[in-house]
Amino acid sequence: MVLKFYCIPIALAASLCLLALGCDSSPTDSQAEFRPTLYIEGFLSAGNPVDNIFVGVTTPLYETVDRNQSGVPDAAVTLEVDGAVSILSPRPGKTGYYHLPTLRIEPGKTYRLTVEIEGGIAQARTTVPFPPTVTASSTQLTPGGDPFTATWEGETGAGYLTETVARVLGDQIPLEALLGGFGRGGFGGFGGTGIDTTGFGALRDSLAEASRWRYTRNQSTTLNLRQFSHYGTYVFRVFTIDANYADFLISSTQDPQTLDEPRFHVSGGIGLFASMAADSVVFTLK
């Protein structure tokens, strides 16, 4: 299974550009000298190649943040695992992005990232978790029928991210069917099993499509029919995440009085270098 991460990294990059400024100088102090900060952003996915390690520098608060302009095109980026060091190359047409298509990420192994630019070196490491085992209460669902409940097993102290995405969309669900909900409980809910990424604990994560992602430490959830607008085939996916990602999510509620930063786990800079492993189930809503 090939995983692609679109909304999380994009939102995170903009956040990091702004977050770093609180430490470099006071936004209201016109006499303070701005000092650019090196930041890295990378997500390793078990079973997939290294394809999106972003390297950039922060920009002053009064400037318009442009991802292409903040990316560093000539960084020296290496990834070490099991004592072997590999050199990442720039991705064509994507300023600041580095990849290594020949290296596939393995669960259980520790990867050490080193980024060097003129005037700075940043380092980070992540131990890739093992994927969970996900099971579903049913593979075919109908409004008014039994609710969709997913459970999963895994060994992690960091927690999980879950998402539901459409694979094939069918007709729009009529309002009367939505009012019926799943099962006798009507609309149902999440049963307190997750944290919406627009809420406490993950304010800076996945801002573009926050409803897709939920962070949880539990191992089950019941989907809410209000999440669906169309019949069709859907994928429910669970990611086991590493400690770096969990720390970032949990610590990412910013105090506007202090401009506190989340826990980055990056030495010599800021950012997020994290890893995850996924399992999924497919179900049809009829």
Same domain, 101 and 233: no
In terms of residue numbers, what domain contains 106? 7-130+241-277
Considering the domain boundaries, does residue 61 fall inside one? yes
* Claim: this prediction has a pTM higher than 0.85: no
Number of domains in the chain: 2
Domain with 177 in it: what CATH number?
2.60.40
Same domain, 218 and 234: yes
Considering the domain boundaries, does residue 1 fall inside one? no
Per-residue pLDDT of the chain (286 residues; tens, 9 = 90+): 333 333 344 344 444 443 443 344 444 444 567 788 998 999 999 999 999 899 999 887 766 667 777 899 999 999 999 999 999 999 998 999 999 999 999 999 999 999 999 989 999 999 999 999 999 998 988 877 888 899 999 988 899 999 998 999 999 988 877 776 765 443 333 333 333 333 333 333 333 344 567 889 999 998 877 778 889 999 999 999 999 999 998 887 666 666 677 889 999 999 999 999 999 999 999 8
| pLDDT value of residue 95 | 92
Query: Rounded to an integer, what distance in angstroms lies between the CA atom of residue 17 and that of residue 55?
Result: 12
Tokens 């190649």 — which residue?
49
Same domain, 126 and 69: yes
Considering the domain boundaries, does residue 2 fall inside one? no
Same domain, 50 and 104: yes
Same domain, 125 and 253: yes
Residues in the chain, total = 286
